[in-house]
Amino acid sequence: MNRKIHLTVNGTARSVEIPTYRTLLDCLRNDLGLTGSKEGCGVGVCGACTVLLDGKMISSCIALAVSADGHAVTTVEGLAGDERLHPVQQAFIDAGGFQCGICTPGQVVSAKALLDAIPNPTDAEIREWMLGNLCRCTGYYKIIESIRTAAQRSRA
């Protein structure tokens, strides 16, 4: 069964007709051309598919696209402004918060959501918020440092 859904993606109204079994992740990647979000585990655990639904982090690989009908989705592609990267993205670059990059879109989206919710997080708060974003490369220290950097810069 196909459904036409209408959603706001990164601030732009989009309409797309998709089968009901389409996950939000597959819809974003295949139907809307936004391949920044990745499929890692397929069961909602690794965080590579993290997007914001109405500002809240979700695992898009286990969300049905039809459930986003009428809602707003923010992906990693929606973070940067016209002229500049989002402070979180810039901080990840400056602090070296990624290696292969496959988990990075999810990390960055989650970090942005964290700083939206808690502008001045402690290290413990960063770790607890980010525990659902797995990384096989960095060992996490640089990711935490990137987020700290982004937080400091936002306060400055």
Partner 1 sequence: MNAFEYAAPRTLDEALTVLREHGEEARVIAGGTALVTMMRQRLVSPGYLISLHDIPGLNRIEVANSGLRIGALVTHREVETSPIVRERIPVLAETFRRVASVRIRNMATVGGALAHADPNQDPPVTLIALGARVEIRGAVGRRELPVEEFFRDYYESSLAPGEVVTAVVAPQLPPASGAAYVKFLPRTADDYATVAVAAVVSLEPDGERCRQARIALGSVGVTPIRARAAEALLAGQRFSAELLQAAGESIKGAVDPLSDHRGSAAYKREMAAVIVARALTQARDAARATARGTR
Query: Does residue 27 bind partner 1 (CB under 8 A)?
Result: no
Among 66, 111, 126, 135, binds partner 1 (CB under 8 A): 66
Q: Which residue, 45 or 93, has its beta carbon nearer to partner 1? A: 45
> 43 vs 50, 89, 102, 108, CA distance in Å?
12, 26, 17, 20
The residue range among 58-66, 95-103, 137-145, 147-155 that interacts with partner 1, by the rule CB under 8 A, is 58-66
Among 21, 93, 96, 141, binds partner 1 (CB under 8 A): 21
Q: Which residues of 28-58 are buried (b: 16+ CB within 10 A; e: fewer)?
A: bbeebebebbbebeeebebbbbbbbbeeebb
By the 8 A CB rule, do 130 and 97 touch? Answer: no
Among 7, 48, 58, 88, binds partner 1 (CB under 8 A): 58
**DSSP class of residue 57?**
E
Query: Does residue 85 bind partner 1 (CB under 8 A)?
Result: no
The structure tokens 């770790």 sit at 127
Q: Which residue, 47 or 97, has its beta carbon nearer to partner 1? A: 47
CA angle 83, 106, 4 (to 5 degrees): 85
Which parts of this chain interact with partner 1 (CB under 8 A)? 1, 3, 19-21, 23, 42-45, 47, 50, 53, 56-59, 62-64, 66-67, 69, 110, 128-129, 131-132
